[in-house]
Amino acid sequence: MYPNFVLPAPLQGVAVVTLVSVVACALACDARASRPAIEPSAGDQELSARVSAIVERIRLLEPRLLRDLPPEVKIVQWRNRRP
Amino acid sequence: MAASSGIGVDPAEPRLRLLVLQPTPFCNINCSYCYLPDRTARARMSLATLDLVCKRVFESAHLDGKLEVAWHGGEPLTVPLAWYEDALALMAARRPAHVQLEHVFQTNGLLLNQDWARFFARSGTKVGLSIDGPADLNDAHRRTRRGHGTLDRVMRAVHLLQDQELPFHVITVLTEAALDHPDRLFDFYVGNDIKEVGFNIEEIEGVNTTSSLARHGMEAKFRQFIRRFFELVWAAPGQLKVRELESTIALLLSDEPARDEQNLPFAIISVGHDGTMSTFSPELLGMRHMRFEGFGFGHVATHGLPDLAHDPLYRTISAEIQRGVEACQRECRYFRWCGGGAPANKLFEIGRFDATETMHCRLTRQVVIDETVAQIEARM
């Protein structure tokens, strides 16, 4: 799915490489680097602002992930498509 | 034959991404939530019709280098294996050299045996199995016409595919009863070495005019289910690939607004067993609705794909769908990551394609986006 993306070392060997695993790994590594945690936002903050904060953090941690997103994942798929 | 033109196909739109073929409307089981009106009809697509499908699709200027071909029914495995041997050979012979075909069968698995598994292996076909979880959940809804449960037989298909090391995914339909069991469902997939799952919901669509998820309080219960299931997936990254999480993270990270292939003309082409062609939501094909006599916009014997855009019914429906997408864009804060929703759900829940919010979008888009964002934020 992400042919150009080189897996972080902690994920090499997992059963299924997923975006969840890549993002979880990046955020966990970041937490270990003692970066201040961001307070989880409640519904009162604009959704778009919350998503922007996520994107910026991921861009900082794993810029290749955003750069290598294939075009097909930018389309919402029919419900009987495979995962 | 009508003249072909590019009307209705914006070059800026995504290419033809998915060809849904319905080899038969017949299904060998009788799920309680099935939306198909003609699932007892035993009609089949002929190879001559498929040959015309190839002609129409492969002559299209909107083909990309890869085309996913989804064999969908009805139950596709009720058509003999020998037919598919010929069908896939025919499509391979007819395809343009630059187009790679990727075949996917979505099946209930009851008829899947060694012969089918060997066929899937040698043709490189992907398989999706419909399983709703442990027996009490699966067999409450997925039953034979005599009322027997189907889990034992579909699990034989799971083991057969696993024995042959054939990759497959599972699609689970969530009903009210399933929402109490996120942990059991997660354990069911992981315990059975199922690696990929997608969640559908019990939809109000076609002949299924009610849903247990439309009852009072179900949205909150659905949210709790998704929250817990996502927690389990995040806690064990790499164990289970969940379609909804993967696609939502990708959409959140994308630098472009989402588009929904179901409301983009000609991103999906659906063809019925008789050669009737449609676009937009694949489940519209074969459906009936009080406002429309049908949803076929042409026939492979008489129409090229661009000709469908001249059909008056197409023009009416396409314009109504576009108004619905524009209304979603004006009104909904989730539009950036949704793309305007599924036309079939708008029509069958609200009665119009230019409607906006549906139960389907609240559950499968809004709740899923909310909970995905919350899961990521909790780890930041």
Q: Within an 8 Å CB–CB cutoff, is residue B373 touching chain A?
A: yes
Domain that holds residue A59: 45-69
| CA distance, residue A23 to nearest chain B CA (Å) | 8
Per-residue CA distances from A22 to A28, B99, B124, B246 (Å): 10, 31, 28, 11
| Residue A10 is assigned to a structural domain of this protein | no
CB contact under 8 A, A48 and B333: yes
The structural domain count of chain A equals 1
CB contact under 8 A, B237 and A25: yes
In single-letter form, the type of residue at position B282 comes to P
Give me the DSSP letters along B5-73: --TT--TTSPPEEEEEE-S-S--SB--TT---TTTT------HHHHHHHHHHHHT-TTEEEEEEEEE-S
Q: What is the pLDDT of residues A46-63, one digit of tens each?
A: 999 999 999 999 999 999
Who's near B232: CB < 8 A, 6+ residues apart?
B182, B183, B186
The per-residue b/e assignment along B48-84, b for 16 or more CB within 10 angstroms, e otherwise, is: ebbbbbbebbeebebbeeebbbbbbbbbbbbbeeebb
Structural domains of chain B in order of their starting residue, each with its CATH number: 16-253 (3.20.20.70)
| Residue A14 is assigned to a structural domain of this protein | no
Reading chain B (380 residues) residue by residue, the pLDDT tens digits are: 333 333 333 445 558 989 999 999 999 999 999 999 999 999 999 999 999 999 999 999 889 899 999 999 899 999 999 999 999 999 999 999 999 999 999 999 999 999 999 999 999 999 999 999 999 999 999 999 999 999 999 999 999 999 999 999 999 999 999 999 999 999 999 999 999 999 999 999 999 999 999 999 999 999 999 999 999 999 998 899 999 999 999 999 999 999 999 999 999 999 999 999 999 999 999 899 999 989 999 999 999 999 999 999 999 999 999 999 999 999 999 999 999 999 999 999 999 999 999 999 999 999 999 999 999 999 99
CB contact under 8 A, B334 and A17: no
Mean pLDDT of chain B: 95
Q: Which residues of B touch A79 (CB under 8 A)?
A: 171, 198, 200, 342, 364
| Residue A82 is assigned to a structural domain of this protein | no
| Residue A59 is assigned to a structural domain of this protein | yes
Q: What is the pLDDT of residues B128-141, one digit of tens each?
A: 999 999 999 999 99
ipTM: 0.89
| Residue A74 is assigned to a structural domain of this protein | no
Q: Which of A19, A54, A76 sits opposite B377 (nearest CB)?
A: A54
